Amino acid sequence: MAQTTEDAIRAFKAFVRKHPELIKGVKEQGKTWKDVFDEWVLFGEDHKIWEAYGLETAPKKKPPLANEFMRLFDMIGNLDAESIQKRLGEINGALDAIQSLLQNWQSPASGAPANSRPYAAGSLPAPPTPPYPQPPYYYNR
């Protein structure tokens, strides 16, 4: 908190003006304003300590993302391992069926040549080996 003392006192005064029931609570408990100011600096405006002075502190709202995480953790806690295993097996079977269907669809039809592109990149046959051990353009001197 990089606040100067004057700024903190102004903010505390605004807090007291916003909650006039605090004045009555301080008088009933016989505390000094310095003690109340120190508590305000330590605990902040939303702490439960202010309920002792008669203030009603509103509970902090959880961010919406926190609610989603709580729902997710509840769902994970309620999962049954056997039912998950059963569902994963069913999904695996469906994926296997789709994969075999795609392989059958992509394979060449019977009667069509096995390779529709015989000289595609990387499919050229190796050059024939010469019947002689020397290079073809070997000259004797």
Residue-wise pLDDT for 34-75, tens only, equals: 998 999 888 888 888 888 888 776 666 666 777 887 888 888
Kindly state whether residue 113 falls inside one of the protein's structural domains.
Answer: no
Kindly state whether residue 72 falls inside one of the protein's structural domains.
Answer: yes
Burial of 36 (0-12, 13-18, 19+ CB in 10 A): buried
Q: What residue numbers bound the domain in which 39 lies? A: 1-77
Q: What's the pLDDT band for 79 if we cut at 50, 70, 90?
A: confident
Q: What is the DSSP letter of 48?
A: G
pLDDT in tens, 4-19: 888 888 999 999 999 8
pLDDT of residue 125: 65
Kindly state whether residue 12 falls inside one of the protein's structural domains.
Answer: yes
Per the structure, the count of domains in the chain is 1
pLDDT of residue 131: 61
Q: Please tell me the pTM assigned to this model.
A: 0.40
Kindly state whether residue 31 falls inside one of the protein's structural domains.
Answer: yes
